[in-house]
Amino acid sequence: MINLTIDNTPLTVEEGTTVLEACKQAGIKIPTLCYLENIQAIGACRVCLVEIERVKDLVASCVMPVAEGMKVTTNNRRVREARKVVVELLLSEHEGDCQTCDRNEDCELQSLAHDLGIKELRYEGEKAQRFQDHSTAGLVRDSAKCISCRRCVTVCTAIQTVSALFPQSRGFKTTIGPAFAQNLDTVTCVQCGQCAAVCPVGAISERDQIDEVWAALDDPSKTVVVQTAPAIRAALGECFGMEPGTLVTGKMTTALRNMGFDAIFDTDFSADLTIMEEGTELLTRLKKALVDKEDVALPMFTSCCPSWILFAEYFYPDMLSNLSTCKSPQQMMGAMVKTYYAKKIEKKPEEIVMVSIMPCTAKKHEAARDEMNDSDAQDVDIVLTTRELGKMVKQAGIDFSSLADSEMDAPLGLSTGAADIFANTGGVMEAALRTVYEIVTGRELPFENLHVSPVVGLEGIKDAEITIEGTVPEWSFLEGVTVKVAVAHALGNARKLVDKIRAGEAEYHFVEVMTCPGGCIGGGGQPRITTDEVRKKRIAAIYAEDEGKTLRKSHENEGVAKLYEEFLGVPLGHKSHELLHTKYYK
């Protein structure tokens, strides 16, 4: 352990701790624009300057390790002035059209300038050349806003192992982006938006589609249907100053109704539907492998995360047959709304506008994929992130906090707790196991004990083994079989896991992959900034939502049962194949 003093207060911290982290432990907030937790700091922005006794120059605290007897001063005139100059210089190069910027009031540079008491711009710097990138469905980039903090580069390389972004040139000429200043669509960007989630300014953000939704709501010839993803309900409140992890399902529903949506459905419903299809697909693959001795692709990978699909298409094209053919819940809902529901309300698919609210920027890409039109129209028309919904509620002048709760609409608004937990890493796996176990054994799992604890939590790669005992006759080939499952979140972890599987060093039957750290609760479209503390609060809220429901298994969803009875037939049947399954491209 290392003893030091910070602002004359003695402190003992572990060896290897940085001065910035030690300050955090002492309850002192050091400003920074480039630091990211759990990742090696790079000291790019120089805002976190502190004074250290006997060191001539001020030092960047994020890269300075503590030392025995060190005396740190975080707050004196010299430190305050130096930080101010650093931020003033950043402002001098930054395109500061704050009033109209996407990040107005959500910008770390803007609030830092305010906190440091900057009242005038003393320096006139050379502005970066403006280059805007609108090449992808999910994201837009604006080089004039970029302050070269490199957070996006770090996340894309260290966490996602995609390495789509690089710093190029030097000094004033530094630009951040794909190699040779190309657009994002020329590289293997998976549109996860983790770069946009950590960007302190407006240099990379989701494509704003709010006006498209207002236009649809204003069009009397359109029926506008909305679906909300599992992870929104534990995060949307943050847009209105609520604590992370505040559940706002009822208020969100009321807000959507007040804004004029004709029907409010739950992506949870189609998550339950996904489990029926994906669970059946897993059992079918296992039967083919174990009974028919067919050469079937195992393990089966989940397919509900669109960035994971792009990642597999770019980096593992030889393993696409391992991906479940199930469309994601977002796309299943779109296809059901524009066929089953359209028939019920006697509308043509093109008379319906299907809007999704997702915690994710890649869902914009997924909805726009050419093949996602099995209803004879694009199945999902517009996707908004959680952040965009927050803005839309504000544009409507709705006082979100004071809204009463209300319920989503029948028939596609019904859901179980199994669907809620899709939002958390490990949740899709747990939801699938709850259903598959009951189908195979014919026995009910105890209601109080449904969590598969080895796949719960923030560890990057998790696995579990479940030995099946006491099967019903139809699934007797699984008697005594130990089913091996694994879960990975963040693409760097997924890469490690898939590489092991591909090399024959690990064997599993079923693998869940979610792109964003923590799963969808940490999605690229969620309110900023998502730290581990925030992730844990959102995860706890989602499990609480599940535990508070009377129905907690997807096969108990009566709406889903009715959908099969009235329209689809059976899981993996002809109609399901046509509307709920998809294919992938090398």
Work out whether 520 is an interface residue with ligand SF4 (CB under 6 A): no
Work out whether 431 is an interface residue with ligand HC0 (CB under 6 A): no
Work out whether 193 is an interface residue with ligand HC0 (CB under 6 A): no
Q: Select from ligand SF4, ligand HC0, none the partner in contact with residue 113, using the beta carbon and a kind-dependent cut-off of 5 to 8 Å.
A: none
Work out whether 156 is an interface residue with ligand SF4 (CB under 6 A): yes
Applying CB under 6 A, the site for ligand SF4 has a residue count of: 14
- Compute CA distances 174 → 127, 146, 479, 488, whole Å: 11, 10, 62, 35
Is 512 labeled as catalytic in the residue annotation?
no
Work out whether 164 is an interface residue with ligand SF4 (CB under 6 A): yes
Q: Which is nearer to ligand SF4, 154 or 254 (CB)?
A: 154
The answer for residues whose C-beta is within 8 angstroms of residue 425's C-beta and 6 or more apart is 457, 458, 462, 487, 489, 512, 514, 518, 519
Contact 475, 284 (CB under 8 A): no
CA 151 to chain centre: 17
Residues 290-309 touching ligand HC0, rule: CB under 6 A, are: 304-305
CA geometry: angle at 81 spanning 78 and 82, to 5°? 85
Work out whether 162 is an interface residue with ligand SF4 (CB under 6 A): yes
- Applying CB under 6 A, which of residues 177, 523, 527, 571 lies at the interface with ligand HC0? 523
- Compute CA distances 153 → 162, 198, 245, 273, whole Å: 10, 10, 28, 37
Q: Which is nearer to ligand HC0, 142 or 366 (CB)?
A: 366
- Compute CA distances 498 → 87, 200, 302, 348, 485, whole Å: 43, 32, 13, 42, 13
The structure tokens listed for 294 are 């067919």
- Applying CB under 6 A, which of residues 74, 160, 303, 324 lies at the interface with ligand SF4? 160
Contact 289, 499 (CB under 8 A): no
- Applying CB under 6 A, which of residues 520, 534, 541, 563 lies at the interface with ligand HC0? 520
- Compute CA distances 115 → 30, 139, 220, 238, whole Å: 12, 29, 47, 21
Q: Which is nearer to ligand HC0, 229 or 239 (CB)?
A: 229
Per-residue interface string for the shown chain with ligand HC0, residues 228-267, x marking contact by CB under 6 A: -xxx-----------------------------------x
Q: Select from ligand SF4, ligand HC0, none the partner in contact with residue 223, using the beta carbon and a kind-dependent cut-off of 5 to 8 Å.
A: none
φ, ψ for residue 468, nearest 5 deg: -90, 125
Per CB under 6 A, the segment of 14-22, 159-167, 275-283, 380-388 that binds ligand SF4 is 159-167
State the minimum distance, in angstroms, from the CB of residue 194 to ligand SF4: 4
Contact 215, 364 (CB under 8 A): no
Cross-strand bridge partners of residue 60? 49
Contact 44, 34 (CB under 8 A): yes
Work out whether 483 is an interface residue with ligand SF4 (CB under 6 A): no
Per CB under 6 A, the segment of 33-41, 148-156, 421-429, 559-567 that binds ligand HC0 is 421-429
Work out whether 517 is an interface residue with ligand SF4 (CB under 6 A): no
In whole angstroms, give the CA distance from residue 352 to residue 376.
Answer: 12
The structure tokens listed for 352 are 């319906």
**Helix or strand holding residue 11 (H, E):** strand 9-13
- Applying CB under 6 A, which of residues 19, 20, 47, 165 lies at the interface with ligand SF4? 165
Binding site for ligand HC0 (CB under 6 A): 229-231, 267, 271, 274, 304-305, 328-330, 358-360, 363, 422-423, 428, 519-520, 523
**Residue ranges binding ligand SF4 (CB under 6 A):** 139, 155-156, 160, 162, 164-165, 189-195
What are the residue numbers of the active site? 278, 281, 304, 324, 363, 366, 371, 520
